[in-house]
Structure 1
Amino acid sequence: MTSTLRQSRFRIEGMDCASCAAKIDTAVRRLPGISDVAVSVATGRMTVTHAPESDLAALSARVAGLGYGVEPIETRRGAPAARRPPGDHARHDHGSCGGHAHDHGHDHRHGAGHRQAHDHAVPSAAAPDRQAPDGHDHAHAPSIGRWWQSRKGLTTIACGLALAAAYGVGKLVPALDHWAFLLALAVGLVPVARRAFAAALAGTPFSIEMLMTIAAVGAVIIGATEEAAAVVFLFLVGELLEGVAATRARASIQGLADLVPKTALVAVDGRTREVPAESLAVDTIILIRPGDRVPADGVVVAGDSAIDEAPVTGESTPRRRTVGDPVFAGTVNGDAALTVRVTAAAADNTIARVVKLVEEAQESKAPTERFIDSFSRYYTPAVLVVGALVAVVPPLIAGGAWTEWIYKGLAILLIGCPCALVISTPAAIAASLAAGARRGLLMKGGAVLERLGTLTTIAFDKTGTLTEGKPKVTDIVGFGTGEQAVLALAAGLETGSNHPLARAILARAEADGVSPAPAAGLAAIAGKGLAGTVEGRAVFLGAAAAAGERAVLPPEAATRIKALNDEGKTVSVLLVDGSPAGLIAMRDEPRADAREGLERLKQAGIRTLMLTGDNSRTAEAIARVVGIEPHGELLPEDKMRIVEELKRQGERVGKVGDGINDAPALAAADVGIAMGGAADVALETADAAVLHGRVADVAALVALSRRTMANIRQNITVALGLKAVFLVTTIAGVTGLWPAILADTGATVIVTANAMRLLRPS
């Protein structure tokens, strides 16, 4: 029964491509008691779901027999296997207010509800040699660090030395030439042949190792021992290069986890002590000194400092953080000490969530990758058949020389090795996912990465997506009173309030260097505004309608209020002793890069729409500023309906929002993209996310997708093109075994190097 199943995790060394993972998967699934197997090339790990009585020692022996290092990773004892269907991501339920429909009634009873249901198997961002509290491990690199210390590295070096020695012996003692090269061949071929036969017994008879073994043995039989030894050495070199490339791709993700320091300073009774960062519990108070990396997500409880958030959000300039502000693991404290209360354990901090998402994404195959995997299953047996036909048919039908055509058939086996083809797609996708994560662009798998480049229409939410998500004071108008005086009186009334519009007024006063006027007798009038006594005068601040009930607004004020409302701004009227003294207008302003980001999408041939629940007047005002087609006063179901209508019209639709109120539309779109701060990116709601909160990053996602697909097409062309060329030249007798294996190894190197270009900034 599912409830009795257990999960065991293993670190696999020497697994460098999809064909390696497929061999391991096939072999392990054939063992008794195994329910499911998940093998990740990206992380170098295997997760096995099995019955409690399963023989894990036999499992390890089976994997080791295939030629891979295997090491169990401890998990929490007795923890049942968490069986979650593919793509069933736990969703966050965030209390949020979409739109910006404030009446400025100022009853000031705004409670901010924010709850998160984290039930992820999220890795710790701990050191590679340390086990995270939840049992997850981040040892992406092989357990042996340097390539020349790995099993494949040692075998390749031994084979190379044996081959060099054989050449020396052949020159010095020609009579021993054949036996010297046969010994050199054995040094490299025996491990390959063992893996080939182990894979065949475990259910994968048509492996790359089997092709190599048949070709090498056949070459010995027809007297080409020297070439056979050289071919095996070149094959081992090609495998080693694959391993180096795979390690580099893993290291790019490990670099994210390494942003989090290994230790933290815990503050207790005015003293500090150093503890492992992975041991920090929620609500622990920690001290972060100037220049230190932040060891955990948290909230500042004391201090004021500039934080360099570039490692996490990509922001180029440090941001001031003071009491009540969030800080994120992996960022760097600037000029002053901060005391921080931890809000997320190591297994659930920002960096750990990003790393986990990228790992899961790399394990999710794109349609192109699935096609290549399926194609390669038939391709390898077909190569064997073609090689056999080339070796047998010409001598039987046309009277060709057996030795000549067997040699050509063996060369075709080497040409047919599918290494370059199999690695062409996953290498590019892994590199792109890693490169995107480093720039704050997250995608849930190769399928999402592939779809992004095909989008023809992208619909944006307004509040918090195209705009900053918080109002700012845009206009201050005085009627016989100076603007600074109007601001000082309003700020006096709002002092101590947490209402978003109150915070906007206080922020403007601070920015302008205006001190709030001392106020007394403050009273919130529900649905209308706020009243009090300031400097001995009766002052009221509230909505225009409420102010009109208390005083006669002059035509000048009414005209100005209408004009400001037409610009999508919320207007508060200030009355002093029953007479209009001024106006304060506020609006949730567009993000600084909104217009530029939308323009980049249009240049890429993508239509853009705004779908918002805000009133049409505000939507149209913002749309004019940023240059987008507006649709206002929409309910969540209306947004979803518009997305579905666009899809029925043949459009490929992306939806960008905060992942909360837009959830139905995000789910309906071909690609849902969450936008927000690093502490809450609504990753579980959408297919992709941008951590920076920049509109231009949506265009960057599309560009990355298109670059990746172009890279994959180049890789497939190289992999198949070189094989086609050498197939013709081999049959024509121009090339032989050496060029054949060089073609395969060379194609693998070219494809891998081309994919690694995606790791560089565009």
Structure 2
Amino acid sequence: MEKSLENNKQTYRLQGLSCTNCAAKFEKNIRDIQSVNDIQLNFGASKVTVYGEVTVDQLEEAGAFDGIKVLPERQRDAQEKVPFWKKAENRNTFISLFFLICGYVSMYSLGEEHPATISIFLLSIFIGGYDLFKVGLMNLLKLQFDMKTLMTIAIIGAAVIGEWGEGAVVVFLFTLSEALESYSMNKARQSIRSLMDVAPKKALVKRENQEVELDVEDIQISDILIVKPGQKLAMDGVVVDGQSSINQAAITGESIPVLKTCGDEVFAGTLNEEGSLQVKVTKRVDDTTIAKIIHLVEEAQAERAPTQAFVDKFAKYYTPAIMAIALFIAVVPPLFMAGDWSDWVYRGLAVLVVGCPCALVISTPVAIVTAIGNAAKKGVLIKGGIHLEEAGRLKVIAFDKTGTLTKGTPEVTNIEVLNNMNENEILGISMAIEKFSQHPLASAILRKAEEKGVFTNDYAAEGFQSITGKGAKATVKDRTYYIGSPKLFEEMMRLTASVAEKIIKLQKQGKTVMLVGTNEEVIGLIAVADQVRSSSTNVIRKLHEIGIQKTVMLTGDNEAIGQAIGSQAGLTEVKAELLPQDKLEAVKSLRKKYGKVAMVGDGINDAPALAAATVGIAMGGAGTDTALETADIALMADDLNKLPYTMELSRKALGVIKQNITFALGLKVLALLLIIPGWLTLWMAIFADMGATLIVIANSLRLLRVK
């Protein structure tokens, strides 16, 4: 059964899905189609996945109440950019406003009860509210009480008690509010649309010595793409010919172009700046990094954050409660307290209008859609509203050392000569021996020799022999030399006090010390260390400024190296000599002590610790599928600088959500209190509701400005 469901899975993009109530109704209408087995509606991404047999026409019929347009996911539909005032529904709003103004002019010149005044107000109500009444009356007959039903009851009620002008104002403000809400939601969703347009839809491919332009769906793995200067890459792949600077901002958020040569990985959606490249395709169009980012961002926007789940649950009970209060206010005083029917029905209608939960329901999703979209454009992938909220509450951040706080590639930091040779000679002998070694420290010596211009031709080694766990030896210029740990030389000779002192001094600085010499004397000393990233110190300082209480380094390295790098980076605590299991336990104990803890690592060997943290943050997500899969947040560039931005965005998003909920509820309470002395008019009620909704959206859109 599961398999057949999966086979009948179809995904569609939606246009015109503006409010959460409409989305819920649209989902219910689709579920009512008999051939549909299941449905997943993603309001944030404006997308629907249907399991079962269904046509586009059936789906559009299900969304006809709100004019929802349905497009197959793969269809390249260039969405027309129609100016706000030119849209048909918005035009009706402005025509309604024109008749509303005419109605008030007529009211002051001919009188409120004059047939001409009533007719003009009726025209304004009918033109502006036609779509509203069509849905509202249908819902009323089915006893479905959403926002449009409440509005329809309020406007009919206003007409019944002779408040024609008020009814027309309510219709105009409601339709204006709907139009502005739709415009704002589209702006919030724009971040995903811009991501979807990043990669080209066609590419130039070399096949059988001919260059042909193909749709990306028709490109196969191992095809060779021709990428000219100024063009964007259409697919992920590996450079097989040429070299060029590639601007990877769309994927990693890095503004500085990266030089790519043969063998380097490149991503769809990145821009080739100057050279011509030939790229061998390694992934199909649906598996490219940009496709994964879009998919994960859309899934993230669909996932309900804890606050949103609470708000949705609250709204479920809140709407019926408001209707009950409105009915009580309209009926009880006239029946039992000799109140005036017209006055109390009017007050009941005002409660109905002001009670619309629109601002409350949209308070969380619009903030989450905006924040996650903004982060994706900056090269930070947040995989759900829950992770965005949790990151905003963090108190402690734990870091892996190698490749996270440090570069992950050891470098030679000191060369000390202990006899009459010079630095280059010591380096030359070491390079000649280490050329045959596979040890990571050997590569550091070879890089240093190349940097200093020491050539391998001048120093040739013969009879290389590895001494397991200690070092190596070989004959260079007719003499046998050794290179290795202090332990290796201690076995051959007694080290002088000055050499032993130098070794201890360098080891305390967190460096690995290698000695070079013969079996009779030590001729030189080379210190190697994994360098702290230039950005690490700055990043840690910024995190403390933002309000992170504690930064901890978890490393498998020895205590001396750990403490040296920890103090260099400005961390508050270092835990060294940890196995992967120990890192996991360290994260668990930090959670027990501080509550909310993040773990930052490369997403491969740190997977258990990332999973145990409140929020797992992986670096270098662009190059590793593991990082995208295991982490809650992925920094697409191999760069810690995005971490303070992510923390600040999360904290601001959390703040915005709290402000939205407080404001939405506070305004409702204030408006309801104005009912008691009878000061709340119908147009004030709709203005309060509309104002709350628009302020909540505008407040959420501020998250687009977080740099």
> What TM-score results when the alignment is normalised by the length of structure 1?
0.83
Take 1:271 and 1:476, find their aligned partners in 2: how far apart are those partners?
55
**2:7 corresponds to 1:10:** no
Superposition deviation, residue 45 in structure 1: 1.1
Take 2:54 and 2:205, find their aligned partners in 1: how far apart are those partners?
43
**Counterpart of 1:365 in 2: which secondary structure?**
coil
**2:532 corresponds to 1:590:** yes
Structure 2 residue aligned with 1:569:
511
Counterparts in 2 of 1:308 and 1:158: CA distance versus 1, 3 Å: same
Q: Which residues of 2 match residues 657-676 of structure 1 at below 5 A? A: 657-676=601-620
Q: 2:252 aligns with which of 313, 317, 331?
A: 313
The answer as to whether partners of 1:264 and 1:277 remain within 8 angstroms in 2 is yes
Q: 1:720 aligns with which of 641, 665, 683?
A: 665
Tell me which amino acid in the other structure corresponds to 2:21.
S
Superposition deviation, residue 212 in structure 1: 0.6
Counterparts in 2 of 1:33 and 1:267: CA distance versus 1, 3 Å: closer
Counterparts in 2 of 1:256 and 1:9: CA distance versus 1, 3 Å: closer
**Counterpart of 1:266 in 2: which secondary structure?**
strand
Structure 2 residue aligned with 1:505:
445
Superposition deviation, residue 47 in structure 1: 1.2
Structure 2 residue aligned with 1:688:
633
Greater mean deviation of Cα atoms: 354-363 or 270-279: 270-279
Superposition deviation, residue 622 in structure 1: 1.8
The answer as to whether partners of 2:400 and 2:554 remain within 8 angstroms in 1 is yes
Structure with the higher helix share, 1 or 2: 2
Structure 1 residue aligned with 2:93:
156
Q: 2:554 aligns with which of 611, 625, 629?
A: 611
Counterparts in 2 of 1:513 and 1:760: CA distance versus 1, 3 Å: farther
The answer as to whether partners of 1:600 and 1:696 remain within 8 angstroms in 2 is no
- Structure 1, residues 607-647: CA drift from partner, whole Å, max 9, x if none? 22222223333222322322331222222222222222333
**Counterpart of 2:684 in 1: which secondary structure?**
helix
Take 2:17 and 2:699, find their aligned partners in 1: how far apart are those partners?
20
Tell me which amino acid in the other structure corresponds to 1:631.
K
**2:251 corresponds to 1:249:** no
Greater mean deviation of Cα atoms: 666-675 or 647-656: 647-656
Paired residues, number:
696
Q: 1:710 aligns with which of 644, 647, 655?
A: 655
Superposition deviation, residue 755 in structure 1: 0.6
Take 2:603 and 2:377, find their aligned partners in 1: how far apart are those partners?
21
**Counterpart of 2:542 in 1: which secondary structure?**
helix
The answer as to whether partners of 2:236 and 2:282 remain within 8 angstroms in 1 is yes
Superposition deviation, residue 555 in structure 1: 5.2
Structure 2 residue aligned with 1:95:
none
Superposition deviation, residue 207 in structure 1: 0.3
Gaps of 5+ in 1: 76-128, 131-138
- Structure 1, residues 289-329: CA drift from partner, whole Å, max 9, x if none? 33333333333333333333333323343333333332333
Structure 2 residue aligned with 1:623:
566
**Counterpart of 1:634 in 2: which secondary structure?**
coil
Superposition deviation, residue 196 in structure 1: 2.8
Take 1:405 and 1:668, find their aligned partners in 2: how far apart are those partners?
58
Tell me which amino acid in the other structure corresponds to 1:428.
A
Tell me which amino acid in the other structure corresponds to 1:585.
A
The answer as to whether partners of 1:440 and 1:692 remain within 8 angstroms in 2 is yes
Tell me which amino acid in the other structure corresponds to 1:483.
E
Q: 1:384 aligns with which of 323, 330, 339?
A: 323
Counterparts in 2 of 1:462 and 1:153: CA distance versus 1, 3 Å: same
**2:231 corresponds to 1:292:** yes
The answer as to whether partners of 1:66 and 1:199 remain within 8 angstroms in 2 is no
Greater mean deviation of Cα atoms: 325-334 or 703-712: 325-334
Take 1:337 and 1:375, find their aligned partners in 2: how far apart are those partners?
58
Q: 1:467 aligns with which of 406, 416, 421?
A: 406
Take 1:331 and 1:61, find their aligned partners in 2: how far apart are those partners?
36
Greater mean deviation of Cα atoms: 392-401 or 273-282: 273-282
Take 1:533 and 1:296, find their aligned partners in 2: how far apart are those partners?
50
Superposition deviation, residue 730 in structure 1: 4.0
Counterparts in 2 of 1:506 and 1:607: CA distance versus 1, 3 Å: same
Structure 1 residue aligned with 2:136:
196
Tell me which amino acid in the other structure corresponds to 1:678.
A
Tell me which amino acid in the other structure corresponds to 1:367.
P
The answer as to whether partners of 2:207 and 2:223 remain within 8 angstroms in 1 is no
**2:339 corresponds to 1:396:** no
Superposition deviation, residue 673 in structure 1: 1.5
Take 2:268 and 2:390, find their aligned partners in 1: how far apart are those partners?
31
Structure 2 residue aligned with 1:19:
21
Gaps of 5+ in 2: none
Tell me which amino acid in the other structure corresponds to 1:2.
E
The answer as to whether partners of 2:135 and 2:148 remain within 8 angstroms in 1 is yes
The answer as to whether partners of 1:431 and 1:756 remain within 8 angstroms in 2 is yes
Take 1:324 and 1:553, find their aligned partners in 2: how far apart are those partners?
46
The answer as to whether partners of 1:66 and 1:198 remain within 8 angstroms in 2 is no
Superposition deviation, residue 232 in structure 1: 1.0
**Counterpart of 1:683 in 2: which secondary structure?**
helix
Counterparts in 2 of 1:560 and 1:286: CA distance versus 1, 3 Å: farther
Structure 2 residue aligned with 1:417:
356
**Counterpart of 2:299 in 1: which secondary structure?**
helix
Greater mean deviation of Cα atoms: 529-538 or 688-697: 529-538
Superposition deviation, residue 9 in structure 1: 2.2
**Counterpart of 2:617 in 1: which secondary structure?**
strand
Superposition deviation, residue 43 in structure 1: 1.5
Counterparts in 2 of 1:259 and 1:486: CA distance versus 1, 3 Å: farther
Give the % identical residues.
41
Tell me which amino acid in the other structure corresponds to 1:3.
K
Q: 1:525 aligns with which of 466, 471, 483?
A: 466
Structure 2 residue aligned with 1:71:
70
The answer as to whether partners of 1:467 and 1:589 remain within 8 angstroms in 2 is yes
**2:480 corresponds to 1:478:** no
**2:132 corresponds to 1:187:** no
Counterparts in 2 of 1:147 and 1:38: CA distance versus 1, 3 Å: farther
**2:43 corresponds to 1:41:** yes
The answer as to whether partners of 2:251 and 2:269 remain within 8 angstroms in 1 is yes
- Structure 1, residues 218-271: CA drift from partner, whole Å, max 9, x if none? 111111223212211211110111111111111112222323234433345776
Counterparts in 2 of 1:307 and 1:429: CA distance versus 1, 3 Å: same
Superposition deviation, residue 443 in structure 1: 1.6
**Counterpart of 2:629 in 1: which secondary structure?**
coil
Counterparts in 2 of 1:363 and 1:198: CA distance versus 1, 3 Å: farther
Counterparts in 2 of 1:72 and 1:461: CA distance versus 1, 3 Å: same
Take 1:267 and 1:490, find their aligned partners in 2: how far apart are those partners?
47
Q: Which residues of 2 match residues 96-495 of structure 1 at below 5 A? A: 129-130=75-76, 146-148=83-85, 150=87, 152-157=89-94, 159-160=96-97, 163=100, 175-199=115-139, 205-267=144-206, 272-277=211-216, 279-479=218-418, 480-492=420-432
**2:588 corresponds to 1:649:** no
**Counterpart of 1:649 in 2: which secondary structure?**
helix
Counterparts in 2 of 1:442 and 1:186: CA distance versus 1, 3 Å: same
Structure 2 residue aligned with 1:115:
none
Superposition deviation, residue 210 in structure 1: 0.3
Counterparts in 2 of 1:217 and 1:322: CA distance versus 1, 3 Å: same
Tell me which amino acid in the other structure corresponds to 1:8.
Q
Take 1:286 and 1:57, find their aligned partners in 2: how far apart are those partners?
35
The answer as to whether partners of 1:568 and 1:621 remain within 8 angstroms in 2 is yes
